[in-house]
Amino acid sequence: MDDDTIQLVVWIVAAVALFAIEATTIAFVALYFGVGALAAALAAALGTPLAVQALVFA
């Protein structure tokens, strides 16, 4: 796998993990991080650099 694919997989795994954490809590904090991780995964799928992905996540 190339770096772009690995970055995409990492963002998706992070999003799923954050959504799973949110499912076990009621704080609604991890939900927003999960949405940010999905947005960063979309940026990774479009081939943007890691710095742009980090900005999208933030």
pLDDT digits (tens, 9 = 90+) for 12-45: 999 999 999 999 998 889 999 999 999 999 999 9
Containing domain of residue 45, as a range?
3-57
Instruction: Domain count for the chain, please give it.
Output: 1
Consecutive H or E run containing 34: helix 30-45
Distances, alpha carbon 40 to alpha carbons 9, 22, 25, in Å: 11, 18, 23
What is the DSSP secondary structure assignment for residue 49, as one 8-state letter? -
| pTM greater than the 0.95 cutoff | no
Token pair recorded at residue 32: 């927003």
And the tokens for 5?
A: 């694919």
7 confidence band (pLDDT: 50, 70, 90): very high
